[in-house]
Amino acid sequence: MNTDVIITCAVTGAGDTTGRSDKVPVTPQQIADSVIEAAQAGAAVAHIHVRDPKTGKGSRDVELFRETVGLVRASGTDVIINLTAGMGGDWVPDPKNPANGGPGTDMIGPEERLAHVKALMPEICTLDCGTLNFGGGDDVYISTPAMLRTMARTIQELGIKPELEVFDLGMAWLASSMVEEGLIDAPPLFQICLGIPWGAPADTNAMSAIKNALPANAVWAGFGISRMQMPMVAQAMILGGNVRVGLEDNLYLDRGVLATNGDLVTRAREIIERLGGRAVGPDEARKIIGLKT
C-alpha cells in the first residue's frame, strides 16, 4: 500500500459535461480558479484541458492554454501543471464514405498536438498511449505507435515528463516498450484510466492487471470515472499507486449532489487519510515523480 499519495485533479476535460453541471469550469479564468481551488484542497498536480468560452466544447487553442496557465502561475499557487496533449486524435467516419472523416473529426499530426506544450513548457504533459473505440457510437481516438514515438522523442528533448495514459493492457504494453527503447526517462510516470468505454473497466482486476504490467520502477496513478471515482481512489492507494479525481471524470460528490473540484479533492484526501496515508504536497510529489527542477 502507498501511504504517501499524490493527488492529481483533472479539472475540466473536453467532454460534453457543461450542460450537466454548472460547476464545470469553461473560461480560462474559471479553469485557473478551479486549479487553485484544487491545489488549496490538497491536489499536488493539476491536469488541464481548455474549452472554447463561447461553446464550452474542448479546444486545443494555444492562446487559451497560454491564458489559463498564465493565470495559475501569476497566482503564485504551487501546483504541478500537467497539460493534456491528447487533443487532435478524434476520428468519426463519414457515414456516407467511411474513408473520410465526418462531423466531429479532429485529426492532426504529432508535432501539432504538442504546440501548446512547446509554448508553455509545463512540468508534465500527457501521452495517450494507443487507439481506442471511444463510447458507443462511431468515435475513435487515434494515436498510432509511430505518432507516439515521435511525440515521446519531442517531449524528451523538451525536458518535460510525459504522463503515459493507458486505458487497457495493450496500451500499457506499448508504453512499456517505449520505456525500454529509451524514449521515456526514468522513472516512467503512468496513469491507469479505467471505466471509459471501451477500454478496461473500473474494477480491481483491471487495475491490478495493468499495474502488474508496468515497468518495475514506474510511478503510477489510477482513476475510475463516474461513480467509480472514489472506489478507485481507495483501490489505487491499496495497490501502491497514486490517485486522480476531478470534474473531467466525475460530476458528483454524492448521489444527486454536484461537486466542485475542491470537493472531490477533499473527499479523496479524506479517503487517503482514513486508510492511514497522507496527501503529499507539490515539492514532495516532484521528488517522487522525478521532475527536473
pLDDT tens digit sequence for 51-83 = 999 999 999 999 999 999 999 999 999 999 999
Residue 135 is predicted with a pLDDT of 83
Q: How far is CA 136 from the centre of its chain?
A: 21
Residues 6+ apart with CB under 8 A from 157: none
CB crowding 45-56: b at 16 or more within 10 Å, else e: bbbbbbbebeeb
Positive or negative, the CA dihedral 198, 59, 142, 246 is: negative
Proportion of the chain above pLDDT 70, given as a percent: 100
Average pLDDT for 227-250? 98
The rounded distance, in Å, linking the Cα atoms of 70 and 68 is 5
The rounded distance, in Å, linking the Cα atoms of 50 and 79 is 17
pLDDT band for 206, please (50, 70, 90 cuts): very high
H helices, E strands: number in the chain: 10, 18
CATH, residue 155:
3.20.20.70
Residue 204's domain comprises 4-289
Total number of domains in the chain: 1
The rounded distance, in Å, linking the Cα atoms of 119 and 151 is 15
Residue 199 in contact with residue 132, Cβ under 8 Å? yes
H-type alpha helices, the chain: 28-41, 62-74, 110-113, 115-120, 145-158, 169-180, 204-212, 229-238, 261-274, 282-289
Proportion of the chain above pLDDT 90, given as a percent: 97
pLDDT band for 207, please (50, 70, 90 cuts): very high
pLDDT at 293 over 70: no
Residue 51 is predicted with a pLDDT of 98
pLDDT tens digit sequence for 116-151 = 999 999 999 999 999 999 888 889 999 999 999 999
